[in-house]
Structure 1
Amino acid sequence: MPEGLTDDGLAAMLVRGLRPTRVTLVEHDPRWADRFGARAAELRRVLGERARLVEHVGSTSVPGLAAKPIVDIVVGIDDPDDEQAYLPDLEAIGYDLRVRESQHRCLRAGDPDEPVNLHCYPPEHAETRKYLVFRDRLRSSPEDRERYESVKRDLAQREWRDVNFYAEAKGPVIREILARGGWTD
């Protein structure tokens, strides 16, 4: 998501519009890795070679980190803007398009107790690489993991016009951690 979101700018990307929300964090659940594994196998089966990479990202991919109980997956699709090349297959297995922006699609699947966010980017896209650098840094640095969780817990005390504003508010700490993980823009 781009920085400096506005209601109008975000509404233009969201397929279903803004949704006011409160963020609920829960303690890490080791079953999230199993949920990712099952979804990843399904994605590889359905997309075949079109899925150039399938990775578990986001807070549920980091053992010991509290998270919203939504498994985030990034799939490397050569051209996410060519929706006809993959979107009908994802919709056929229950994914629902939520965000449409250049070189990125975000879809949601799963019942309310086991939701999954699927981010489709080109495999070498900067956002794909950032997801992986950030995940790996949180996995390897207890200090960064604790700092990130503390910021998330503070932000979760607020009500948000949309969850994307919560994600944007985490931007400064994410950039700090990415820099310590070796990321340079």
Structure 2
Amino acid sequence: MLTPLEIVTFTDPPAPEGADPVVGHRRGGPIEIVDYDPTWPDLAVEFITRVRDALGARALNLEHVGSTSVPGLSAKPIIDIDLTVADPSREEAWLPPLERAGFGLAIREPWWYEHRVVVANGPAANVHVFPPGCPEVYRHRIFRDWLRANPDDRDRYIDIKTRSAEAATAQGETVMQYNDRKAAVIRQIYRRAFEAAGLLDT
């Protein structure tokens, strides 16, 4: 059973020597942050339905997460969805149906919760594939729900996202470097959310 300590402990192991998590379907270009689009929740429902139709009972859980799931939050115009399957490492059990539904494998990180990402374009979506009981899925939901309920932290996040995107684009950096620029503010917000949830002592 997942413990509070596992939920609040961030792990970010490096890729093994010689391993590249990016396996295809790269998105290039500048990092674009746009104003919140009220059509994003409907787009998320369409993608969730598409994944569920493709996988049936193999889709154990599907959640709209990330910035596009928070009303009023500026974001990259990419829908993020968490998909839980029995065993992400058994790609033959879930990947071919998603490929037939128009998704393509983009990231494979077996060293980090067996994480995979499949993507769609036009409109854009990232489907993050995790196993049951993965603490990252809990963290995504906690962060989403906290920002929905706390406009001050939502505005702090908008500010750091905008500044990080501008700086990363000016320097020709990758999305990973953009993520690094906003990591400190994200951890501060997470701490407040964890404390409010009783997962950390105040």
Within 5 Å, give how 1:46-65 maps onto structure 2: 46-65=54-73
CA contact (8 A) 1:144 1:177 kept: yes
Residue 75 (structure 2) aligns with = 67
Within 5 Å, give how 1:36-185 maps onto structure 2: 36-102=44-110, 103-111=114-122, 114-158=123-167, 159=169, 160-182=172-194
Displacement after TM superposition at 1:20 (Å): 5.8
> Alpha carbon RMSD of aligned pairs, Å?
2.5
- Aligned residue pairs: how many? 182
The percentage of counterpart residues that share the same residue type is 38
In structure 2, list runs of 5 or more residues that go unmatched: 1-9
Aligned to 1:68, what secondary structure does the other structure show?
coil
Within 5 Å, give how 1:28-43 maps onto structure 2: 28-43=36-51
Whole-angstrom distance in 1 between the partners of 2:19 and 2:174: 10
Aligned to 1:81, what secondary structure does the other structure show?
coil
Change (3 A) 1:10 1:179: farther
Return the index of the structure with the highest Cα Rg: 2
* 1:138-173 C-alpha deviation (Å, 9 max, x unpaired): 111001101111100110112243212212322211
- State the TM-score, normalized to the length of structure 1: 0.88
Displacement after TM superposition at 1:70 (Å): 0.4
Displacement after TM superposition at 1:126 (Å): 1.2
Displacement after TM superposition at 1:137 (Å): 0.7
Matched letter for residue 57 of structure 1: V
Matched letter for residue 137 of structure 2: T
Aligned to 2:108, what secondary structure does the other structure show?
strand
Displacement after TM superposition at 1:77 (Å): 1.1
Whole-angstrom distance in 2 between the partners of 1:88 and 1:19: 21
Residue 26 (structure 1) aligns with = 34
- State the TM-score, normalized to the length of structure 2: 0.81
In structure 1, list runs of 5 or more residues that go unmatched: none
Whole-angstrom distance in 1 between the partners of 2:147 and 2:43: 20
Whole-angstrom distance in 2 between the partners of 1:25 and 1:44: 29
Displacement after TM superposition at 1:22 (Å): 2.2
Tell me whether 163-172 or 130-139 shows the greater mean CA deviation. Answer: 163-172
Change (3 A) 1:10 1:157: farther
